[in-house]
Amino acid sequence: MTLAGRTLFITGASRGIGLAIALRAARDGANIAIAAKTVDPHPRLEGTIFTAAAAIEQAGGRALAIPCDIREEAQVRAAVARTVEAFCGIDVLVNNASAISLTGTLDTPARRFDLMQQVNARGTFLCSQACVPALRQSANPHILTLSPPLNLNPRWFKGHVAYTMAKYGMSMCVLGMAEEFRDDGIGVNALWPRTGIATAAIRNLLGGDDAVARCRTTDIMADAAHWILTRPSREATGNFFIDEDVVRQAGVTDLDRYSVVPGTTDFMQDFFLD
């Protein structure tokens, strides 16, 4: 149950959940390719691909910082090729990068609709497509996508049709690719949080510090991802995992360790879960 010596290609890993997953793998001694856009510091977002790489190496891993806009096919393929060359393969793809706009139909400009579709659904598809040849050479290959279970309750479409379509596009990649690559032994799964996770998206879009106080830390997603990615890939595929269910299955009995504010019981519930 270790990721030591394995190579992870993680999109959007310069901060947040992607970086947390990278750091958890780094503590095992994994190799991590950080494929993300943030090269220069952003006024509202912490971290760059270079600060992430430094943190990964300090945690015990090997890092490769790759500027990459996953909307661009050529950049994706070049980033995958660099990773294979640097680490002699890829064992894990984590589709973490995502764009969000919680706006109704009349308030969603075409450019914002396109951004979410291109980053979320198309980006997940392109990265998976580019990584599969390398994953086929791995002894325990996994694709893990941070997307929700497919829930057709109209409440999850009413307020933000465009965003829901984009996130469900990621989930449909999971559903289809799990079956498509089952015979190749590639485990294709989704992971989604039960509660809000303390990230820049919560702070900047969903209520600021008060909302963050009702969230869990990124550590719960990192621990859940680690458990999934250390399963035999042929035995764990086609699942839509929920973080707290996974860590309980992994033996964690005290989930309060993941609370931003210890003792919290009134958590912000995440989207798409009834």
- Residues taking part in catalysis: 163
10: phi then psi, degrees, rounded to nearest 5: -120, 125
> Measuring CA to CA, which residue among 101, 42, 95, 39 is closest to residue 70?
95
State both tokens at 113.
């609709």
Say if residues 1 and 231 touch (Cβ distance below 8 Å): no
State phi, psi for 165 to the nearest 5 degrees.
-60, -40
Question: Based on the number of CB atoms within 10 Å of its own CB, is 64 exposed (0-12), middle (13-18) or buried (19 or more)?
Answer: buried
- Burial label for 207, CB within 10 Å (0-12, 13-18, 19+), is middle
Integer CA distances (angstroms), 32 to 53, 207, 266, in order: 8, 32, 35
Q: Which two tokens stand for residue 144?
A: 């893990």
Provide Rg for the chain, Cα atoms: 17
Longest dimension (CA), the chain: 49
* SS3 label, residue 96: coil
Tokens read off for 145: 């996508």
Q: Helices (DSSP H) in 136-160: which residue ranges? A: 155-158
**How far, rounded to the nearest angstrom, does the alpha carbon of residue 19 sit from its chain's CA centroid?**
9
